[in-house]
Amino acid sequence: MSSPNGELRFDGRVAVVTGAGAGLGREYALLLAARGAKVVVNDLGGTHVGEGASQRAADIVVDEIRKNGGEAVADYNSVIDGAKVIDSAIKAFGRVDILINNAGILRDRSIVKTTDQDWDLVHDVHLKGSFKCTQAAFPHMKAQNFGRIIMTSSNSGVYGNFGQANYSAAKLGLIGLANTVAIEGRKNNIFCNAIIPTAASRMTEGILPDILFNELKPKLIAPVVVYLCHESCEDNGNYIESAAGWATKVHTVRGKGSVLRASLDETVTPEFVKNVWSKVTDMSQAKHVDNMAQATGALLEVLENLKSGEKDVIEDTFAFTNKDLILYALGIGASVKNSNDLRFLYENDSDFSAIPSFFVLPGLLLTMSSPLVGNALPQSGADLSNILHGEQYLEICDDLPLDGQLVTKGKVFDVMDKGSGAVVVTNCETFDENGRLLAKNQSSIFVVGAGKFGGKKEPITGVVPLGVTPKRSPDSSIQYTTSLDQAALYRLSGDLNPLHIDPNFARVAGFKTPILHGLCSLGFSVRAVLAKYADNNSSLFKAIKVRFVAPVIPGQTLKVDMWKENTRIHFRTSIVETGKDVITGAYVDLKSSKAKL
C-alpha cells in the first residue's frame, strides 16, 4: 500500500510492537502509527534489568501517537504471556498484521558469575517471549494470508561480547527462530526477518562510547524495520544490520571444505584432518547456502564422488592473474635485460604470454596441500622435512590462458620402494572454467628415508620415462646465474616450503643452507630451451620431463647444455661452480607444426 506520492502506508494494518515504551520499540510504534497503522504499544514498564512493572512507559507512547492523530492502545503484559499480548490487538482492532518482537532486558555478567536467574530471565524475555508472541499471532496471520514478523537479534549474538553469554545466546537463538518462522510462514505470505540494530538505548547506555552513543539514534533504524514490515517488502528469512543511518544484509557463508578420507571404506583420522585443516578452514571460495536442501545436497555430492571412480581423486582450485605470470617469470630469472623476455614481464606487450612451466604450479600446490603423498606410504609419513622433488613431467594440452580460475584433479599413480627412499608418483590434470583440459602434470616425490618397506622398485606403465641424452657434445649451451634471493623470490609463486628459505629448517632436512626449488631450476632450463630453439614463443612448447639429481644453492650459476633431435630438445643442467649435474634425463618437446627450428 502506497499513497499517490509513493509514501509507504499501513492503513488498515494492525501492528504489535513489544517493548515499545522506549528506545527502538517506541520509534517503530511512532513511525508505523504515523503511516496509518493501528498500534498495540506493549511494554511491561520494568527496568532494563527486568525488574518491576509500570503502565507509564506504554501509556506515554500511546498518548503521543494519539496526539499525532494516530490510533494506539497500550498493553502491559509480559511477552512471555504472548497470547495475552496478541489478544490485546484482537480485542482492540480485530486483527494482527505485524509483530515486531523487540522487548528485551540485559543481565550482563561474565560467564562464571552468571546465575541461573540471569540466564533464564534473559532467555525468557528475548527468546521465549518472541516465540510466544509469534506463536499467538501466527494463526491470525495465516487465516488472513498476510503477516510480517521481526525478530530482534544483536551483534552480541553474531560475534559474541564479553559479559553477555546469556544475551548473546538468546540473540543468536532469535536468528534461528527467524529462519524457521520464515520457512513455516512463506506459503501463507507471512515473512519473518531479523534486525540486528546498534542503537543508543537504556540497554546500551554506559556500554558504548559517548561519541558513538550520540549518533546511534533509534529513529534512524526505525525506517528499515518499518520497510521490512511493509507488504511490498518481499524479503523473508534475512538478517538486516542497521545503525547510524546505514543498513546491510548479513548472512552466513560456508567454505568449500575438504573430504576427510580418501575413499568410502576408509575412516576419518585426526592425522588426515590435520593434514587438510588449511582446506577445511579456507574461506576463499566460501558461498552462502540458501537452505538445508542445498547444504545436504553438497554432502551427497561428496559421498557420490567418494563412491564413484573419483574416490581417490583430490580436487583443488588455482586462481591466477597476469601478475602471477609476471612474478613467476621473475622467479625463474626472466629479465628486462633480455629484450625477448619482455613478453613474460609486461602485460601490455603485444606478445604477452605465460612461460608454459608456470602450469606445473596447480598440480604442485594440490600435491603439497593434500595428504596424497603421506597416505600413499605404508609406514612412514611424509612432511616437508623429508620430501624432495624427484622428477617432473608437464604436458600442455591446449592454448594457455593469461588469467582465470583453474580446477585441478590429482591422485597417486604409483609408489616405488627405492631403498634410500620411497618415490610417490602423482598425476594431476588441470582444467579451465569451461572444463577445457589445459595441462597434465606427473610429479615424482622422493621421500627420503621412507624406503625399505618391501614395495616394488620399478615404475608401472604410464610413469613417463626419462629421455636418453645424446652422447655427443652439446649443440648449444646457455648459462644463467641465479641470485642469492632466487628462492626467496620464486617461493612467492606458491611453494612456500621453508626448506628453500629457512636455514634452521634446511639443517633439519639435512642441508647446510636452504636449497633452490627444483621447479625453479626447471624454469631456468625451460627459458634456455625457449630462448635458443623457439624464439621465446611459448605456444611452441609441448612438454617437458626432468629428473632432479642434486640440489642447487641460490647464487650458483646454471649451465643448460642442449641437444636438438627433431622437435625434441634434450638438455642437461649443471652447476658451473662445481661442475655437478642437477637435472638429467631431461627434454623439452616442441610442437612440430609451428616450430621455427
Task: Give the whole-angstrom CA distance, residue 92 versus residue 232.
Answer: 26
Q: Which of 23, 50, 70, 421 binds ligand HDC (CB under 6 A)?
A: 421
- Choices 46-54, 374-382, 386-394, 538-546; region in contact with ligand HDC by CB under 6 A: 386-394
Residue 268 has phi, psi (to 5 degrees) of -90, 135
C-beta of 259 vs 387, nearer to ligand HDC: 387
In the block, which residue shows the cell 590434470? Answer: 429
Query: Would you say 154 or 367 has its CB closer to ligand HDC?
Result: 367
CA 5 to chain centre: 45
Nearer to ligand HDC, 499 or 595 (CB): 499
Site string for ligand HDC, 434-463 (x = CB under 6 A): ---------xxxx-x--------x------
* Binding window for ligand HDC (CB under 6 A); candidates: 25-33, 204-212, 282-290, 420-428: 420-428
| C-alpha to C-alpha distances, 63 to 17, 44, 51, 297, 405, nearest whole angstrom | 15, 16, 24, 54, 62
Could you tell me the smallest distance in angstroms from the CB atom of residue 260 to ligand HDC?
22
Indicate the residue among 237 and 421 with the shorter CB distance to ligand HDC. 421
The residue among 147, 76, 150, 154 whose CA lies nearest residue 122 is: 154
Q: Which is nearer to ligand HDC, 157 or 554 (CB)?
A: 554
Which residue from 172, 105, 101 is spatially nearest to 137, judged by alpha carbons? 101
Query: Please, which residues bridge with residue 555 across strands?
Result: none
- Under the binding rule (CB under 6 A), the answer on residue 316 touching ligand HDC is no
What residues contact 62, with CB distance under 8 A and at least 6 apart? 41, 72, 73, 74
Query: Most distant CA pair in the chain: distance in Å?
Result: 106
Residue 364 binds to ligand HDC (criterion: CB under 6 A): yes
Residue of 28, 167, 393, 587 marked catalytic? 167
Q: Which residues, numbered 497-556, are part of the site for ligand HDC (CB under 6 A)?
A: 497, 499, 515, 517-518, 547-551
CA distance from start to end of the chain: 77
Is residue 167 among the annotated active site residues? yes
**Minimum CB–partner distance for residue 418 and ligand HDC (Å):** 4
Number of residues that bind ligand HDC (CB under 6 A): 30
Q: Does 275 bind ligand HDC (CB under 6 A)?
A: no
Residues 180-239 that bind ligand HDC (CB under 6 A): none
- Give the separation between CA 40 and CA 102, rounded to whole angstroms: 13
Whose Cβ is closer to ligand HDC: residue 345's or residue 448's? 448
| Min dist. Cβ of residue 302 to ligand HDC (A) | 24
Q: Which residues contact 21 (CB under 8 A, 6 or more apart)?
A: 41, 43, 45, 56, 57, 58, 60, 61
- DSSP class of 200: -
Point out the residue whose Cβ comes nearest to ligand HDC.
Answer: 390
Binding mask 142-161 for ligand HDC (x = CB under 6 A): --------------------
Q: What is the DSSP string of 72-104?
A: EEEE---GGGHHHHHHHHHHHHS---EEEE---
Q: Which chain residues interact with ligand HDC by CB under 6 A?
A: 363-364, 367-368, 387-391, 418, 420-421, 423, 443-446, 448, 457, 495, 497, 499, 515, 517-518, 547-551
Q: Provide the annotated active-site residues.
A: 167
